[in-house]
Amino acid sequence: MKIGDLAKKTGCKVVTIRYYEKEGLLAPPGRTEGNYRQYGREDQERLEFIMHCRRHGMKLDEIKKLLVFRSHPQRDCTWVTDLVEKHIKNVDEQIASLEHLKMHLEQLRGSCAGGHSGETCGIMRSLGNVGECCASCARCGHPPDGPVLTF
């Protein structure tokens, strides 16, 4: 199986496969005479494992550990359940954060109906008012170096 075939089978991009190899997630595969990478079923399974982990929001270095664990079956898996637990907490926190952001955005939307100039537009005015943003709300005590949500 050449890299393009593997890409088609898994839905992973060719460049991404090479990237995973460079990052040590996939072992350097054998090569053909013409120096093409050649993959087998095991490589495919490993890649699919990686992709499945990615879809679960795992970071590459977490996946790396999971892959090591996968090939050394003698150890205790408690940390895996802990990892999943941690991710669930993380997801919960993100959802809460987004719900809160949504509230603010809806407030923002409600503050202008459109058709205004930069000075009179309610949204622009709201964006300029710092103190206005819910002072009572704990979530709005933006930690000074906390990450800002991006899209």
Partner DNA sequence: ACTAATGCCTATAGCTACTATAGAGTCAAG
Partner DNA sequence: CTTGACTCTATAGTAGCTATAGGCATTAGT
Please, which of residues 103-122 interact with a copy of itself by CB under 8 A? Answer: 104-106, 108-109, 112-121
Amino acid (1-letter code) at residue 23? E
Q: What is the CA radius of gyration of the chain?
A: 24
- In degrees and rounded to multiples of 5, residue 145 shows phi and psi of -115, 20
Evaluated on CA atoms 71, 76, 80, 86, the torsion sign reads: negative
Name the binder of 34 from DNA, a copy of itself, none, CB < 5-8 A by kind. Answer: DNA
Answer for which of 24, 40, 101, 134 binds a copy of itself (CB under 8 A) is 101
Q: Is 135 in the site for a copy of itself (CB under 8 A)?
A: no
Q: Is 144 in the site for a copy of itself (CB under 8 A)?
A: yes
Please, which of residues 42-81 interact with DNA by CB under 7 A? Answer: 54, 59-61
Q: Is 13 in the site for DNA (CB under 7 A)?
A: yes
Answer for which of 27, 80, 134, 137 binds a copy of itself (CB under 8 A) is 80
Q: Rounded to whole angstroms, what are the CA distances from 105 to 36, 65, 112? A: 51, 39, 12
- In degrees and rounded to multiples of 5, residue 31 shows phi and psi of -125, 150
Nearer to DNA, 60 or 108 (CB): 60
- In degrees and rounded to multiples of 5, residue 90 shows phi and psi of -60, -45
Site string for a copy of itself, 48-77 (x = CB under 8 A): xx-xxxxxxx-x------x--xxxxxxxxx
Q: Is 14 in the site for DNA (CB under 7 A)?
A: yes
Q: Is 78 in the site for a copy of itself (CB under 8 A)?
A: yes
- In degrees and rounded to multiples of 5, residue 121 shows phi and psi of -60, 125
